[in-house]
Amino acid sequence: MRADREGAVRRPLLKVSGLRKRYGAIQAVGGVDFEVFPGEIFGVIGPNGSGKTTLFNSMLGQITADEGRIELNGEDVTRLGPLALNRKGVGRTFQTLQVFGKMTVRDNLLVAAQEHHGSMLGRMFAPGDCGLGARADALIDRFRMRHVADKKAGELSYGQQKLVDIAMAFMSEPALVLLDEPCAGVNPSLVGGIGSLLKDLNRNPAAARRSSFVVIEHNMDFVMDLCHRVMVMVEGTVMAIGTPDEIRSNKRVLDAYLGS
């Protein structure tokens, strides 16, 4: 729980407590605690091997943590798998592209909503397509992809495919989106655009609810510009959590990570 500027107590959307995961002799995640609040963009940074991906995969039900508890809106979701979490409003993007190269951009978005609305075929023949076509078109416009909407995704540049990948995560209108290195492999000239897009999606006043994001990213300028708070992981544990300014001026973080 945390009090906002007006003093009202805010309940976390995501609460991770005492999370641990070991691989044999390696303690990948060694007792991690943090909270993400509604509407917050929360960054996770740390050197290679510090446990970020293991933490993500545990939160997404892709691996089972050895210990700890994960709560979504106060509900214990520790043992839920990816599909059940997706149905509860958790979306994700992967480090590597997940788009279907032979399908159009628009169809990629429609397929992404499949888990929420039954099979692709069922949806295609359902009257009014459950509103998914309209949602796909709205995202296509928001991501400025109208000119490529009917092109095969595999024909697009890597950066454009990355945008399709991110847009797919938003088809289910998630409350929480976990983004795994959204800038990885993207031309530096496109990185600013991805940041603006995510900020725009985060504050979207038209959406029924504001999405919160947890973002793993090695591009420090991107993280510091985008995130409201940042968590620094070192050797599977939390070294610091704070605003970008607090993290940039934290001596331990500078010595262990940022300063290197």
The binder of ligand ATP chosen from 31, 38, 39, 49 (CB under 6 A): 49
Handedness of CA 222, 141, 165, 13 (dihedral sign): positive
Collect all residues with Cβ–Cβ distance below 8 Å to 24 and sequence separation of at least 6: none
Distance CA 59, CA 69 (A): 9
250 binds ligand ATP (CB under 6 A): no
182 binds ligand ATP (CB under 6 A): no
54 binds ligand ATP (CB under 6 A): yes
Collect all residues with Cβ–Cβ distance below 8 Å to 16 and sequence separation of at least 6: 32, 33, 34, 35, 55, 59, 68, 69, 70, 71
46 binds ligand ATP (CB under 6 A): yes
Distance CA 47, CA 260 (A): 10
Which is closer to ligand ATP, CB of 163 or CB of 216? Answer: 216
Least distance (Å) between residue 176 CB and ligand ATP? 19
Which is closer to ligand ATP, CB of 17 or CB of 95? Answer: 95
- The one segment of 12-20, 52-60, 78-86, 114-122 that binds ligand ATP by CB under 6 A: 52-60
48 binds ligand ATP (CB under 6 A): yes
The binder of ligand ATP chosen from 2, 18, 23, 249 (CB under 6 A): 23
- Give the type of residue at 31: G
- The one segment of 41-49, 82-90, 150-158, 198-206 that binds ligand ATP by CB under 6 A: 41-49
Handedness of CA 99, 163, 170, 46 (dihedral sign): positive
- The one segment of 10-18, 23-31, 114-122, 165-173 that binds ligand ATP by CB under 6 A: 23-31
Distance CA 93, CA 252 (A): 30
30 binds ligand ATP (CB under 6 A): no
Burial (CB < 10 A; 0-12, 13-18, 19+), residue 197, is middle
**Site size for ligand ATP, by CB under 6 A?**
11
Interacting residue ranges for ligand ATP, rule: CB under 6 A: 23, 26, 28, 46, 48-54
